[in-house]
Amino acid sequence: MKIGVIGQGYVGLTISAFAGEFYEVVGFDNNQRIVDQLNSGVSHIEGVENSDLQKWIKAGRYHATTVGIDLSGVDLIVIAVPTPLTKDRQPDLSYIEAACKTVGENVQKPVLVVNESTSFPGTLRNYIKPAIERYSKNKVDHLYAISPERVDPGRSDFNQRNTPRLYAGLTLEASRKTREFYSKFCDNLVEVSSPEVAEAAKLFENTFRQVNIALVNEFAQIAHSLGISVHETLDAANTKPYGFMKFTPSAGVGGHCIPVDPTYLAAVAENHGAPATFIRRANEVNIEMSEYVVDRVQADNGGSLEGKSVLVVGVAYKPNVADVRETAAELVIEHLRGRGAVVSWHDDVVKNWKGEISSPLSGADIAVVVTMHDLVKAPDVVASAPYVFDTTGKLKGVHGL
């Protein structure tokens, strides 16, 4: 079987690399630079090894392309394109629309189309199927299914094989074929009764994280005002063996999922006249954390940051990845600069970001730690400035949340 994967980013390349063991994979991406890099056997995603990519390329089982017609001979299409928010924070389905155009214009025999991109309930039925049919000159009768992705980039204990995968087709045949496809490389497939349930479950999983992170971020502020340690309190609460799950405070949430997906759920809720108050407020609390952190740093440093040199340590949105999408470090830096601080950043995983390069881990008046990669040594961070504020809870003997 030959499969086409539209989008060769975190999700699409990960699925391509796993599927490569069993299927011939055409990796379609509209970014020529990524396609050239992949065809030269170099992965741009943590967790996808160059050696795997090179093995599949050599065996003739993988090639990347920007040419839509290369998808014409495939038996199955996976859609894994971005689903961000528009400027006014509404779901942006333009990438999905473009992927549907690629399928509609190039795939002339009936195939199974599986969407792995995260979106609100009804996207498969009401957007993807009609869009592909609209772009398809010959009105090809494809099968449609959803199987939301749960990949956690940089994580090694859970992968495509051992992470349970939800799926549902628009028809029984679509469900059956989806199961057949994923069962080669996923051991635990969970069928749900409709695509809408699978789509909603994915959004709710990430909303659960967003709301709990906001709660612990609010609690960090309460604990500080009471003069008690938030981390010691959380560890104490976590000795309860049931009914409690520990989340840790931070400068805010980042990445493509937690800051974005809950807003998809809120938008669809409000369009249906249902309240999304927790989701909206949790988003605000998480965004406001960056300002709270800067307020604390300013208060500890004589009430002014004007002219002080501040080093932000770790600008990726989480440890051990180079992903800076929606990173809390961006807002922290904005607030610091807004108060007159001279800001540089250190992150040897990200290296280049917004036209700036990673600075040495030393020489500043103040260091604010947003993300601790494993390659950064705690004693080096502690010694990097006379005043260190840690938002991660990983450093001992410094100021922090």
Spell out, one character per residue from 47 to 86, where the chain touches ligand NAD: x when CB under 6 A holds, - when not: ---------------------------------xxxx---
**What are the beta bridge partners of residue 351?**
none
Residue 252, H or E segment: none
Contact map string, positions 84 to 113, toward ligand NAD, x by CB under 6 A: -----------x--xx--x-----------
Residues in the chain: 401
Q: How far apart are CA 348 and CA 113, in angstroms?
A: 39
Q: Report the distance separating Cα 8 and Cα 30, nearest Å.
A: 9
Instruction: Report the distance separating Cα 159 and Cα 89, nearest Å.
Output: 31
Rounded to 5°, angle at Cα 121 from 243 and 77: 110
Which of 257, 289, 361, 370 is catalytic? The answer is 257
To the nearest 10 degrees (0 to 180), the angle between helices 195-226 and 277-300 is 30
Distance (Å, whole) CA 164 – CA 401:
34
Measured from the CB of residue 119, what is the shortest distance to ligand NAD in angstroms? 7
One of 53, 76, 131, 151 touching ligand NAD (CB under 6 A) = 151
Q: Which of 15, 34, 186, 372 binds ligand NAD (CB under 6 A)?
A: 34
Closer residue to ligand NAD (CB): 153 or 249: 153
Report in angstroms the alpha-carbon separations of 281 from 38, 130, 215, 247: 41, 34, 10, 17
Interaction of residue 39 with ligand NAD, rule CB under 6 A: no
How many residues lie near ligand NAD (CB under 6 A)? 28
Q: Does 10 bind ligand NAD (CB under 6 A)?
A: yes
> Of 130, 153, 139, which Cα lies nearest the Cα of 80?
153
x/- binding map, residues 251-280, to ligand NAD, per CB under 6 A? -----xx-----------------------
Q: Decide if 186 is catalytic.
A: no
Q: How far is the CB of 153 from ligand NAD (least distance, A)?
A: 5
Tokens of 287: 């965004």
Residue type, 147: S
* 159 counts as binding ligand NAD under rule CB under 6 A: no
Q: Is 29 in the site for ligand NAD (CB under 6 A)?
A: yes
SS3 372: coil
Residue with Cβ nearer ligand NAD (149 or 326): 149
Query: Does the footprint of ligand NAD cover residue 124 (CB under 6 A)?
Result: no
Active site residues: 257
The contact set with ligand NAD (CB under 6 A) reads 6-12, 28-31, 34, 80-83, 95, 98-99, 102, 116-118, 149, 151, 153, 256-257
